[in-house]
Amino acid sequence: MDFLLNPYYLQIIMFIIINAILGISIYLTMATGQLSLGNAGFMSIGAYVSALLTLKAGVPLYVAVPVGGAAACLMAAVIGIPTTRLRGIYLAIATLGFGEVVRVVILNLTITNGALGLSGIPSMSVMLSKVFTAMGLAAGIGGMSVRQLGNISVIFILAIILGFLVFFALRLSTSRLGRAFAAIKADEHAAEVSGIDTRYYKLLAFFMGAFVAGIAGGLAAHITFYIGPKDFAYHRAVEILLFAVLGGSDVVWGPLLGSLILTLLPEVLRFATEYREMIYGGILVIMMAFRPQGLISEDTLGFWQKKLMSKSEASTQGEISRRTTR
Amino acid sequence: MFWQQMVNGITLGSTYALIALGYTLIFGVLNIVNMAHGEIFMFGAFVGLILATKFNIGIFGALLGAMVAGAVLGYLMERLALRPLRRRKVSELAPLISTIGVSIFLESLALRLFGPQAQSFPGVYSTQLFEIGGLKISAVQILILAISFGLMLVLRFWLSKTQLGKSIRATAENIETANLLGVDTQKIIVLTVMLASALGGGAGVLVGLAFNAIEPTMGITMGFKGLAVLILGGLGNITGAMVGGLLLGVAEVFSVAYGVSSYRDAVAFGLIIVLLFLRPQGLFGSQEQQGGR
């Protein structure tokens, strides 16, 4: 039990969930065929706003994190209204530039503590442990200490948020909105001609991506106690992009798988830590050359569904035939 | 003071223009934004540095070596990361993502090969100062201005007058038609990528001289500036890249001189965001170019 509840493993699980949320954020923008490299920037806004609110103003966490997301969303409006007029490469560069501007601004403001970053951000698990102590569970329950209990409940809360987002994304893809997104992704002109307000839907997708990235930033800040401008630089933007490129951006499971693999990979391949960026770079090139749609695409899902169906059919048939022969 | 800053700005801007030319050449021919250009530039700077310090060959030898190194890297990138994508139909974003991969690969390779600390060229050229009509201009600045403007002029002449230059322009205009008219477009593409990367490698040495600091992360910072210039001047536009580079250099130097020095790196993208509001096709881009709708 203690082995499984090792704080290190618990921390990794938390990071996997945070990265999965980031994967969903890039999936939402990519659902309309827009490549936004600004999600690291939106994440940093969410992280800084919510961390400053809890750290300096004493705002409770459950208010601070959504406010961080809203701030990212607001920023997305400022940057998004001019940039969603742009397509493809222009949008990618403009959003990359936006991330860079955010980083430089954070580096220079006094309230964000410049290059040193913010430290001592109230940690979610510590907060929850305190709550548990106040509830009279100072000794812990079921062999778990209060600290472990705090960590477990953080994971629980994160998992609920992730589950909700996945549910939302799945519902989205079968809704009117999702079909409009898919139409824009397939062919923007055709979508416009058939009466879809492409500008509105692209902006909406951009906002949703920014909001989710902001939430992920706020949550990440309250898990790690420290954030600095370096955490949200170019490499972060590339890493978030990798989730979608490796896993695939057609279906929501793609970025989820991508974030799971890419968060576990450096932990499993400890010896390869120094080569991590090189491996990432190689993955990007190889994926683009051999499987640009990512590991999971709609075809993959269909294939496995069919296979599993036929397998279960075959096994039931086998069962029947065995019974009859007996 | 004003003119002094102007000279500094133009010197800096001429190196930006050289970097942006590399982006623009590749975009013109391949319709690809080469995100790895900044890293090729950084490798050029390091190769130049090693040649100048370890092998003691002069600054021109270093420049030449850097350009050759850039061209070799460009060739490898074309073979490994761009050509496989051309074989089948992929979205226009695929090459962008692929070159992002090359960029982070090269950056971390440089970190391993050269170490994270900033290194500098031997200070032979930075000590001499000339005074022309009250303006102080250092030997390094003169060197940078001469080399970058020289390279730009040669490039312009070469593109407009020679057979190969004409083939490049024809390929940029329309790759299928050029192919039908007997241009070996495959060869032209390789040549363009190598030429652009060689310019990037050369710019690396010049920027190394100008800032007197070379480090593996400089590829990202300078690459971003080249990108800013690319958008500023209009994608695939050679005049735009030259003028846009000078403009960015001047804007940056003035922003440092008049107050907001720590925001220097944000100036480039501030300019872009303003420009995207007003003129999405870039300063010199024509109306029908893609981008804005």
In sequence order, what DSSP letters do the residues of B65-100 get, joined into one string? Answer: HHHHHHHHHHHHHIIIIIHHHHTS---THHHHHHHH
Between A125 and B39, residue with greater pLDDT: B39
- How many angstroms separate the CA of residue B1 from the nearest CA in chain A? 26
Residue A231's closest CA among A242, A216, A210? A216
Across the range B96-108, mean pLDDT stands at 88
Across the range A125-148, mean pLDDT stands at 72
Same domain, A226 and A306: no
Across the range A67-72, mean pLDDT stands at 91
Q: Which of A157-161, B46-50, B173-177 has the lowest mean pLDDT?
A: B173-177
**Is the predicted pLDDT of residue A279 greater than 50, yes or no?**
yes
CB contact under 8 A, B262 and A108: yes
**Is the predicted pLDDT of residue B161 greater than 90, yes or no?**
no
The two tokens of residue A239 are: 């890493």
Same domain, A195 and A312: no
Between A256 and B292, residue with greater pLDDT: A256
Using CB atoms, pick whichever of A79, A90, A280 lies closest to residue B280.
A90
Whether A132 maps to a domain, the answer reads yes
Same domain, A277 and A302: no
What was the pLDDT predicted at A316? 61
The two tokens of residue B222 are: 């300078």
Same domain, A245 and A286: yes
What was the pLDDT predicted at A321? 56
Same domain, A18 and A111: yes
CB < 8 Å to B92, chain A = 88-89
- Report how far apart the first and last C-alpha atoms of chain A are (Å, whole number): 46
Same domain, A150 and A266: yes
* Location of structure tokens 């830590």: A273
**Is the predicted pLDDT of residue A144 greater than 70, yes or no?**
no
Whether A142 maps to a domain, the answer reads yes
Which residues numbered 8-47 in A keep a CB inside 8 Å of some CB on B?
35
Whether A199 maps to a domain, the answer reads yes
Q: Which of A134-143, A159-168, A274-283 has the lowest mean pLDDT?
A: A134-143
Residues A201 and A180: beta-carbon distance below 8 Å: yes
CATH number of the structural domain spanning residue A11: 1.10.3470
Same domain, A318 and A229: no
The band of B263, judged by pLDDT with boundaries at 50, 70 and 90, is confident
What was the pLDDT predicted at B288? 47
Same domain, A289 and A325: no
CB contact under 8 A, A238 and B227: no
Whether A258 maps to a domain, the answer reads yes
CB contact under 8 A, B231 and A90: yes
In this prediction the ipTM stands at 0.79
Q: Which of A74-78, B163-167, B180-184, B268-272 has the lowest mean pLDDT?
A: B268-272
Same domain, A127 and A258: yes
Q: Which domain holds residue A314?
A: 298-326
Between B204 and B291, residue with greater pLDDT: B204
Neighbouring CB atoms inside 10 A of B173's CB total: 11
CB contact under 8 A, A288 and B106: no
Residue A178 CB-density burial (10 A; 0-12 exposed, 13-18 middle, 19+ buried)? middle
**Is the predicted pLDDT of residue A3 greater than 90, yes or no?**
no
Whether A196 maps to a domain, the answer reads yes
Same domain, A323 and A281: no
Across the range A56-63, mean pLDDT stands at 82
The band of B244, judged by pLDDT with boundaries at 50, 70 and 90, is confident
Whether A1 maps to a domain, the answer reads no
CB < 8 Å to B90, chain A = 288, 292
Number of A:B CB contacts under 8 A?
A: 135
**Is the predicted pLDDT of residue B281 greater than 70, yes or no?**
no
Same domain, A128 and A265: yes
Domain count, chain A: 2
The band of B282, judged by pLDDT with boundaries at 50, 70 and 90, is low
**Is the predicted pLDDT of residue B124 greater than 70, yes or no?**
no
**Is the predicted pLDDT of residue B206 greater than 80, yes or no?**
yes
HEC profile of A255-319: HHHHHHHHHHHHHHCHHHHHHHHHHHHHHHHHHHHHCCCCCCCHHHHHHHHHHHHHHHHHHHHHH
Across the range A155-184, mean pLDDT stands at 89
CB < 8 Å to A87, chain B = 290-291, 293
What was the pLDDT predicted at A294? 78
Q: Which of A35-39, A86-90, A229-233, B197-201 has the lowest mean pLDDT?
A: A86-90
Same domain, A244 and A315: no
Q: What is the pLDDT of residues A287-297, one digit of tens each?
A: 888 887 778 77
The band of A11, judged by pLDDT with boundaries at 50, 70 and 90, is confident
Percent of chain A clearing pLDDT 70 (strictly above): 89
CB < 8 Å to B110, chain A = none
Please tell me the distance from the alpha carbon of residue B44 to that of residue B73, in angstroms, as a whole number: 9
CB < 8 Å to A79, chain B = 273
Residues B240 and B234: beta-carbon distance below 8 Å: yes
Please tell me the distance from the alpha carbon of residue B211 to that of residue B90, in angstroms, as a whole number: 40
